[in-house]
Structure 1
């Protein structure tokens, strides 16, 4: 009986560890069941001791009490399942615990596999993520998000102000390595018998992310030409392009439908309007030409367009809510009369330059900066500094200061410098 209690304790501690991630993992009996299906009790015991930032396996071995080679073999199995990331850095193998998203949820469903009950997991993930809003609000609270919208370049004409990182084609053609995987969201929906007819092999990864996934069999190596074909196929299928919310070294590009995508569901189901960062454009509809056919309404993945058929109007016409519009341009392609154009927003969207900038910004906004910087509970200095940082970041004056862009930028620079010091 004590053995069973100890096993349950390991999963509860692992849940608490995952909840320290920037995107969180709130407790639920359903989530504990997901962890039990994915992690063995021994794996859970190891996983909860892995820092949120990369750690050398040699250092982790000292922390767990396992021999380095024994630990490495166990971590390799976990990495194959998509539960941890492992990679070589300066001749040493490092590992980091995968969050729920973008993390082990995607890695479970980015390929077909027969060593897991994917239908049971799909039912559990669906219940955990969408039967109530706790998980979605943990992941998508505040304004800096994991994903940002890419506008369709063909909808902009000859816009000189569009930047390279805003172009899907540029993200693909400049990538050193490209990987193609199954769309995790549609694959999961397929196991629930409610996937749409959109293509399934549509998830694109780039650079280091692609290399790791290809190495673990979660993505197929692809050429730039093949990736561009996938992009064109997805545009024809009415899918929106959502990319890694960074300017440099973009790690992924999803091709998303409004019905299956978890990010879009957060917008549609729970009205979390900031779940996806918009592009710098919004749809503009020429009401003098619109006939109210409704094709753009069906195409919009976040239901930002409606048909106004109020009495007194000369004829029904489509109306776009600019605050909800993602600026993806899917409606532009759907409109057969050329009534829709993409207009530049009055205020440009702030996109972090690098993944580190994004993570620190998200940590500040979510009150988790101490978890991100000082996440090794075995060291007294980290515990002490973590408590201090937690007090500082939750204070009202600091929150107000972070809203001032120059101060925020200087703060991030200082944090980056401090975090890069070798311990």
Structure 2
């Protein structure tokens, strides 16, 4: 099938997904991609090449742009379209398409492929490993506490919530999927998707996700001056930044931990909520028993070297036996 092969080559499609390409692109879109190849063309030129009415072609091109089949840019008031790639089309389709119709085995392959591409394409992570930069053109720079997210929400003029592509692709847990908050117009494009929230709705959502046990990340570090960009609500089993941080060994540097938990064992009621919520095994049952309030319970231990300072443990502790302190200076958070 020459069309399929030509499209796959131009669109950078992994071989294993070729039998499922009909989920990602129509035949007409494939023909368009093959026709454009490496060119960047105006609507008029594309319409002439296709021998079609310019108005009809404009609508088709805009639809292909919204589906991340094409990219577009404006040069001196003229719109030009060029070919996108499978990496970006996959992210759009997993968020807003009928993604779960694809067999789970294939979706697991897609997650592995996409994670590898994510590491390749975000090579600024290498700066984090080799040095200690204040982040340049990075994302998920900081691990945030709940009150810090609320401050970002209060400062935002526009708030939009979207599903999380990491969670849709990995699908390793039952946590909520609509969890990514994007702030203000500079970070929301004409094809971002999602829905707008009021500040009250955004805070209610973030509190709900915190109760679920999802951590909060975002930035940039100078957001008070530049404006905040995105807040993600993350787990360790699906979310690419934490999976990448574990893979790259960037604990404490990216996403940057600015706090650490302090555990008061004498105040602990040994309920084990911190054990179930901690994604880094900083809290664990140590295999011994302890008597508490006349009952024998599993003993909770805490290893501060494993703590990433997300605060999910402290937020749920009914005995208030855990608090977060700033790493530098030791100020109570």
Structure 2 counterpart of 1:334: 316
Q: Any stretches of 5+ residues in structure 2 without a counterpart?
A: 129-134, 292-297
Structure 2 counterpart of 1:41: 30
Residue 274 of structure 1: CA displacement?
A: 3.3
Residue 123 of structure 1: CA displacement?
A: 4.5
Closer, same or farther: CA 287–94 of 1 in aligned 2, 3 Å: farther
For the residues of structure 1 that align with 2:163 and 2:115, how far apart are their CA atoms? Answer: 26
For the residues of structure 2 that align with 1:131 and 1:258, how far apart are their CA atoms? Answer: 18
Residue 189 of structure 1: CA displacement?
A: 6.2
2:95 to 104, 110, 133: 110
Q: How does 1:2-401 map to 2 (within 5 A)?
A: 4-5=1-2, 7-15=4-12, 28-32=14-18, 37-39=23-25, 40-45=29-34, 49=38, 58=42, 72-84=58-70, 86=72, 91-93=77-79, 103-111=88-96, 113=97, 116=98, 118-120=100-102, 123-130=105-112, 134-135=116-117, 137-138=119-120, 142=126, 143=128, 145-154=138-147, 167-187=148-168, 195-196=173-174, 198-208=175-185, 209-210=187-188, 212-213=190-191, 218-243=193-218, 247=223, 248-266=226-244, 271-274=247-250, 277-290=255-268, 293-301=271-279, 303-307=280-284, 309=286, 316-322=299-305, 325-346=307-328
For the residues of structure 1 that align with 2:301 and 2:310, how far apart are their CA atoms? Answer: 17
Closer, same or farther: CA 304–132 of 1 in aligned 2, 3 Å: farther
**Length, aligned pairs only:** 300
Residue 234 of structure 1: CA displacement?
A: 1.5
Cα contact 1:109–1:188 (8 A) shared by 2: yes
Closer, same or farther: CA 168–187 of 1 in aligned 2, 3 Å: same
For the residues of structure 2 that align with 1:220 and 1:168, how far apart are their CA atoms? Answer: 19
| Structure with greater strand percent | 2
Residue 226 of structure 1: CA displacement?
A: 1.9
Q: Any stretches of 5+ residues in structure 1 without a counterpart?
A: 16-26, 155-166, 348-423
Cα contact 1:292–1:318 (8 A) shared by 2: no
For the residues of structure 2 that align with 1:253 and 1:135, how far apart are their CA atoms? Answer: 22
For the residues of structure 2 that align with 1:238 and 1:213, how far apart are their CA atoms? Answer: 30
Rg larger in structure: 2
Closer, same or farther: CA 153–241 of 1 in aligned 2, 3 Å: closer
Structure 2 counterpart of 1:372: none
Cα contact 1:241–1:254 (8 A) shared by 2: yes
Cα contact 1:294–1:318 (8 A) shared by 2: no
Structure 1 counterpart of 2:132: none
Closer, same or farther: CA 12–238 of 1 in aligned 2, 3 Å: same
SS of the aligned residue for 1:202 comes to strand
Closer, same or farther: CA 37–300 of 1 in aligned 2, 3 Å: same
